[in-house]
Chains A and B, each alone.
Chain A
């Protein structure tokens, strides 16, 4: 995104959700067959955070069981990790698709009834909650719901129902942000 995106072209419509889901399912199936594992997202950020903390305060990082788990035994650079490279690919893939669809815009996603600062504060708060929730659940919507769902993993299905449950239960309070 070095040059400002060309916003003069109209955005192309998004893909039919069923066919986008089919494409996503084939990517997931490929991951199962080639790697023997599913997709993920939050784990890569945890590795990145652990590496950054380790660089600033090495003793603090190795003394914390949570960071230590993501730092490994020190023989391999923790960033040489499957999920880290996968998430780098997600950024690239998202950018490519956005570019092809003329959807690259510096903008803020929100409903008409909320101000920009308020929306950004809520985005940050939501992100923070997500960080905590994903670590508590051993995964996020990618690793648990999507990948574990396709493997009929018991914990993943419990997780998935709770995600939808939590979101629907809270949706009413956030309606001004979106509608």
Chain B
């Protein structure tokens, strides 16, 4: 099984919207079942009367966390492909405090207010209107606070990486912590909230082995397995589907021509990562604008997010081809190579040859376009009109091309739509 399915292109964007709707129905259904459509029930959390918010949230968190860990450890899911929101420490802490205050004032969070409004709660509808007002207000002041929103960036980082702890051990610790919190919550409900215990609870169930207690035992056992199960990420010893690799290599679907790559850069596309695997001196002397230097030896399983579209380039193409094989074996699903390498880049992008004067008008127009692209990258088109063409011209200086110099007709790069995250 290759999961996440969407990241392995098992279905496209259109189907993903159907999936989104279905998952949303499940989400909304259980939020309402839990009583999260009612502000008073949610707010009871903060007065120790009814700690459902804590119970529901942490049961959901540990269920998904343990499940995802085990599926990843069994090799069924590639954990590195699951989107992790990047951490911005201070804005997230401040945002969390504001959100918490908003929670106890308004009685809902964004997700629960949808369920509240859907079941007819007027305060939930007003809350949604208030949230839309807050979003508009935030957008209007955004240009002035953008630097604060993007302060203290730490990248996509898990607690395991940050504190250098084994992932599975943390999973177990979170399960134990959650169970401790549940016991404390039930105790607080009894003592502070004077609530009669639920017959199916941890602390005072109607019978000793109530279903919830059994569920807790299963979670702790699975957590204990996780603690000793090792690394959930797919390692350096990947299983290679040689047939698929051979097919991909054979049908040249993994090739990007120099002209195509140049067009991508001119258009400002930012959905791919250009990796240059030559040595440092060669890279310093010249590289394609935007390229990132990663020597072959540093192409490890975690050198970049697994779902990036990667284009590898080298001088001629042999090293790039080797890098392609390496990355594919490591489980990177979308790796392409720059066909012909930098040599081809020089010949066709930087110094394109003019067609003979007798060539068809279509070729002349195409050449004019190529000449504009060449100028964009600091090269120069080679005309055959005069005597023999000059000796190999010197490579252009590494000034990044300015968008203003983009050839006419090419759309200027706009920021790409944020694809994921809340």
Residues of A within 8 A of B (CB): 1, 5, 14-43, 45-46, 48-50, 53, 64-74, 76, 78, 80-98, 101, 103-111, 119-120, 122-171, 174-175, 177-179
Contacts and interface: CB of A to CB of B under 8 A. Distances in A.
Contacts of A143: 85, 421-422
B158 A166 contact: no
27 contacts: A22-B59, A24-B60, A32-B64, A33-B68, A70-B417, A86-B23, A88-B24, A90-B28, A107-B120, A122-B107, A123-B39, A126-B106, A128-B102, A130-B131, A132-B98, A134-B422, A141-B103, A150-B61, A150-B62, A151-B158, A152-B159, A155-B87, A174-B105, A175-B47, A177-B43, A178-B107, A179-B47
Nearest to B39: A109
Nearest to B157: A154
Contacts, number: 589
A70 B32 CA distance: 29
B422 A83 contact: yes
A109 B40 contact: yes
Given A21-B34, A151-B84, A167-B104, 19 more contacts: A16-B200, A19-B211, A24-B31, A25-B60, A26-B64, A41-B111, A45-B128, A68-B414, A105-B120, A106-B121, A106-B122, A109-B41, A128-B131, A131-B130, A132-B102, A136-B95, A142-B109, A142-B111, A154-B157
Given A65-B142, A129-B99, A138-B88, A25 B59 contact: yes
Contacts of B416: 72-73
Given A21-B56, A49-B139, A91-B117, A139 B3 contact: no
Given A93-B28, A127-B126, A14 B96 contact: no
Contact of B118 (A49, A94, A154, A169): A94
A101 B215 contact: no
A167 to B, nearest CB: 4
B85 A87 contact: no
Nearest to B46: A171
A97 B24 CA distance: 13
Contacts of B98: 129-130, 132-133, 136, 166
A69 B415 contact: yes
B30 A40 contact: no
Interface in B148-162: 149, 154, 157-162
B57 A146 contact: yes
A5 B119 CA distance: 9
Interface stretch (B75-83, B294-302, B336-344, B392-400): B75-83
B63 A29 contact: yes
B422 A147 contact: yes
B103 A130 contact: yes
Contacts of B100: 133, 162-170
A28 to B, nearest CB: 4
B133 A170 contact: no
B241 interface: no
A139 B421 contact: yes
Contacts of A82: 16-17, 20, 420
Given A123-B39, A126-B107, A139 B32 contact: no
Contacts of A148: 84-85
A89 B44 CA distance: 27
Interface residues of B, number: 142
Nearest to A106: B120
B93 interface: yes
B47 A24 contact: no
A27, A39, A123, most chain B CB atoms within 10 A: A123
A125 B135 contact: no
A127 B93 contact: no
B141 to A, nearest CB: 9
B142 A139 contact: no
A168 B159 CA distance: 25
Contacts of A30: 23, 26
A88 B6 CA distance: 20
B134 A129 contact: yes
Given A36-B7, A106-B120, A42 B83 contact: no
A24 B422 contact: no
Contacts of A23: 26, 29-30, 33
B135 A25 contact: no
B33 A141 contact: no
Most interface-central of B19, B30, B65 (chain A CB within 10 A) = B30
B82 A36 contact: yes
A163 B96 contact: yes
B99 A127 contact: no
A150 B68 contact: yes
Contact of A64 (B65, B86, B121, B142): B142
B19 to A, nearest CB: 6
Contacts of A136: 91-92, 94-95, 98, 138, 149
A96 B19 CA distance: 18
B120 A36 contact: no
A123 B95 contact: no
B63 A26 contact: yes
B65 A18 contact: no
Given A27-B23, A36-B7, A152 B160 contact: yes
